[in-house]
Amino acid sequence: MGSLDYEIDLQVISEGYDRETEWFQPRIGVIPPTTAVLTATRSQLWGSDVFTAMRECRSEDLGRTWGEPVVQDTLDRRVLPDGAEVCPCDLTPAWHAPTGKLLMTGHTATYAGGERGGLLVDNEHPRDIVYSVYDADAHRWADWRILEPPDRERFWWTSAGCSQRVDLPGGRAASSGEVLLPVSAMSRTEVGGNFWKGCFATTVLRCGFDGATLSYLEQGNEMSMPEPRGLYEPSLTQFAGRYRLTLRNDIRGYVAVGEDGLHFEEPVPWRFDYGDELGSYNTQQHWVTHSDGLFLTYTRRGAGNDHVIRHRAPLFIAQVDPERMVVRRETERILVPDRGAQLGNFGVVDASRDETWVVTSEGMHGDSQEPMNLDLPEARGANNRIWLARLRWSRPNERVAW
């Protein structure tokens, strides 16, 4: 059998904007064999992480053409008794084969009320894990629900935002299955008056899912780091008999390995195979997992990209050595080019046995020197695009059933 290879087919799903809002956190879930559901939020450009209701676009031909975005009122803000507004965000849909449902997980963010209410970052309001299930016939997401945590005070600020989960085979009932959901959590005490000063711990929750309700069953060990904001936005995969977590940190990205999907060894910094640190920091990394190879998608320093906020472009992919858990530098390729805009909020989906997709959008805030100057990314060629990078495999991905 020859070596695993792939072609990159880069597609623009959408482009153009009103210079007031941008597409943010696009994700795609696939309903086998040919339906794709893209979700994204509109983020206000006058502030950071100011979100409104999720939008959805559908494709019935596996991403070749897409419908117009439709507001999902079931995934909109809710007004709290004190006038604050809570919104589901950072949502990731993924196919849950045991129940035949598209299950989306993420977290909430709370805002001061009013037209320009900013993000609230103290411990007056919790941040919750949220989920929603898609009705494929009605083209509608169910009202977002909260996954009740095992300990409310410990899990006061909790997030499954932007994470990749692992679904286990069907459970006791033929129509059920368990989910390994990586989350990050901060206690109410540690959040204090400003969560930016606290440190998240990452853990994996084993959850039951019956096609409608996600429920907590068990928690793994907690991992953190005494560096700004700890370890968060985790993504989980299983490859070659072991589970692997990639973890965001403000200083550097980390990786941890475990045997059972719940308990992990001490996280270590991501490195290239020749020893240098990867240079990915303060943003997500995600897995691309083929039956014959493990890959990491990421952004990093050192790519002539000092102008980009947090060096979040271009978006790279490279193969991982699964024994040493390092990135093989000679395999690094650019998935989405640097056109002056951030690309660090992205997602990965198994589209079929022949294709894996990476979806991202151009964040239209300014550059690293002038974060609110919209002229700067535009001058470098950005236009609020939603990018779809199709990885076309040289041989089928046996992990995918369709």
In a domain, 67, yes or no: no
Residues in Cβ contact with 171 at an 8 Å cutoff, skipping those fewer than 6 apart: 98, 177, 178, 208
33: left (phi over 0), alpha (psi -120 to 50) or beta: alpha
Q: How far apart are CA 362 and CA 341, in angstroms?
A: 5
Q: Do 57 and 38 touch, CB atoms closer than 8 A?
A: yes
CATH number for the domain that contains residue 200: 2.120.10.10
Could you tell me which of 111, 63, 64, 103 has the C-alpha nearest to residue 87? Answer: 111
Q: How far apart are CA 98 and CA 114, in angstroms?
A: 42
Same domain, 180 and 304: no
Same domain, 297 and 198: no
Side-chain half-sphere CA neighbours of 348 within 13 A: 26
Q: Over the stretch 254-271, which tens digit does the pLDDT of each residue have?
A: 999 999 999 999 999 999
Q: Which residues of 197-209 are buried (b: 16+ CB within 10 A; e: fewer)?
A: ebbbbbbbbbbbb
Q: Do 299 and 306 touch, CB atoms closer than 8 A?
A: no
Same domain, 304 and 240: no
Could you tell me which of 323, 258, 311, 247 has the C-alpha nearest to residue 285? Answer: 247
Residue 157: pLDDT band (50, 70, 90) is very high
Q: Over the stretch 339-397, which tens digit does the pLDDT of each residue have?
A: 999 999 999 999 999 999 999 999 999 999 999 999 999 999 999 999 999 999 999 99
* The domain boundary residue, chosen from 269, 296, 316: 269
User: In one letter, which amino acid is 251?
Assistant: I
Q: Do 336 and 314 touch, CB atoms closer than 8 A?
A: yes
Same domain, 129 and 180: yes
In a domain, 200, yes or no: yes
DSSP state string for 266-326: PPEE-BBTTSSB----SS--EEEEETTEEEEEE--SSSS-TTSGGG--SEEEEEEETTTTE
Beta partners for residue 316, in sequence order:
298, 334
Helix (H) or strand (E) holding 123: none
Q: Give yes or no for residue 150 having a pLDDT over 50.
A: yes
In percent, how much of the chain has pLDDT > 70?
98
In a domain, 146, yes or no: yes
In a domain, 62, yes or no: no
Sign of torsion over alpha carbons 128, 315, 310, 377: negative
What pLDDT score does 113 carry? Answer: 87
Residue 138 belongs to what domain range? 72-269
Same domain, 306 and 339: yes
Same domain, 259 and 317: no
In a domain, 198, yes or no: yes
Residues in Cβ contact with 44 at an 8 Å cutoff, skipping those fewer than 6 apart: 20, 21, 50, 51, 52
User: In one letter, which amino acid is 225?
Assistant: M
Q: Dig out the tokens for 247 from the structure.
A: 């973890």
Q: Give yes or no for residue 24 having a pLDDT over 80.
A: yes
Q: Do 125 and 80 touch, CB atoms closer than 8 A?
A: yes
Give this prediction's pTM: 0.96
Alpha helices in 33-108 (DSSP H): none
Same domain, 221 and 292: no
Q: How far apart are CA 115 and CA 103, in angstroms?
A: 31
Sign of torsion over alpha carbons 260, 251, 89, 189: positive
In a domain, 56, yes or no: no
In a domain, 159, yes or no: yes
Same domain, 362 and 264: no
In a domain, 124, yes or no: yes
Q: Quick one: average pLDDT of 39-64? A: 93
Q: Quick one: average pLDDT of 45-68? A: 94
Residues in Cβ contact with 3 at an 8 Å cutoff, skipping those fewer than 6 apart: none
What pLDDT score does 195 carry? Answer: 85
Q: Give yes or no for residue 176 having a pLDDT over 70.
A: no
Q: How many domains does the chain have?
A: 2
What pLDDT score does 221 carry? Answer: 98
Same domain, 291 and 362: yes
What pLDDT score does 172 carry? Answer: 46
Q: Over the stretch 139-148, which tens digit does the pLDDT of each residue have?
A: 999 999 999 9
Residue 41: pLDDT band (50, 70, 90) is very high
What pLDDT score does 173 carry? Answer: 45
* The domain boundary residue, chosen from 230, 245, 269: 269
Same domain, 175 and 149: yes
Same domain, 265 and 285: no
Instruction: Quickly tell me which residue has 């100011």 as its tokens.
Output: 50
Same domain, 258 and 386: no
Q: How far apart are CA 252 and CA 264, in angstroms?
A: 19
* The domain boundary residue, chosen from 225, 246, 269: 269
